[in-house]
Amino acid sequence: MNFFGFGSGAEIEILLDGADKRKKVEHKISENKSEELSVYYDGETVSGAVSISLKPGGKLEHKGIKIELIGQIEILYDRANQHDFATLTKQLASPGILNQSKVYAFEFPHVEKPYESYFGSNVRLRYSLKVTVGRRLTDLNKELEFVVHTLSTYPDTNTSIKMEVGIEDCLHIEFEYNKQKYHLKDAIIGKIYFLLVRVKIKHMEMHVIKRETTGTGPSVYHDDDTVAKFEIMDGAPVKGESIPIRLFLGGYNLTPSMRDINRKFSVKYFLNLVLIDEEDRRYFKQQEIILWRKGDVPRRQINSAIEESTQRFGA
pLDDT of residue 37: 96
Measure the CA–CA gap between 292 and 150, rounded to whole angstroms: 9
Q: Give the range among 22-26, 80-84, 268-272 with minimum mean pLDDT.
A: 80-84
Q: Give the pLDDT band (50/70/90) at residue 309.
A: very low
Exposed e or buried b for every residue in 17-34, given b needs 16+ CB within 10 A? eeeeeeeeeebbeeeeee
Query: What is the Cα–Cα distance from 76 to 215, expressed in whole angstroms?
Result: 12
pLDDT at 248: 92
In whole angstroms, give the CA distance from residue 122 to residue 223. 8
DSSP string for residues in 223-274: EEEEEEEEEEEES---TT-EEEEEEEGGGS-----EEEETTTEEEEEEEEEE
Give the residue-averaged pLDDT of 5-24: 83
d(CA 233, CA 44): 47
**Count of C-beta atoms within a 10 Å radius of residue 102:** 16
Burial class (CB within 10 angstroms; exposed 0-12, middle 13-18, buried 19+) of 37? buried
CB atoms within 10 A of CB 11: 12
pLDDT in tens, 218-239: 788 999 999 998 888 777 777 8
44, pLDDT greater than 90? yes
Write down the pLDDT at residue 292. 94
Cα–Cα distance between 274 and 282 in angstroms, integer?
Answer: 7
Rounded Cα–Cα distance for residues 5 and 95 (Å): 13
- Between CA 134 and CA 127 the distance in angstroms is 22
Report pLDDT for 261: 95
Question: Tens digits of per-residue pLDDT, 102-158?
Answer: 999 999 999 999 999 999 999 999 999 999 999 988 999 999 999 999 998 766 677
Write out the DSSP string of 143-162.
Answer: EEEEEEE---PPPS--PPEE
In this prediction, residue 1 carries a pLDDT of 38
CA atoms of 173 and 170, how far apart (whole Å): 10
What's the confidence (pLDDT) of residue 305?
Answer: 47
Residue 300 reports pLDDT greater than 90: no
3-state helix, strand, coil in the chain (%, to 5): 5, 60, 35
Q: What is the pTM of this model?
A: 0.83
Q: What does the radius of gyration of the chain's CA atoms come to, in whole angstroms?
A: 26
pLDDT category at 79 given cuts 50, 70, 90 is low
Go through 232-271 and write b for each residue having 16 or more CB atoms within 10 A of its CB, e for each that does not.
bbeeebeeeeebebebebeeeebbbbbeebeebbbbbbeb
Which domains, from first to last, does the chain contain?
10-148 (2.60.40.640), 161-292 (2.60.40.640)
**Is residue 265 very low, low, confident or very high in pLDDT (cuts 50, 70, 90)?**
very high
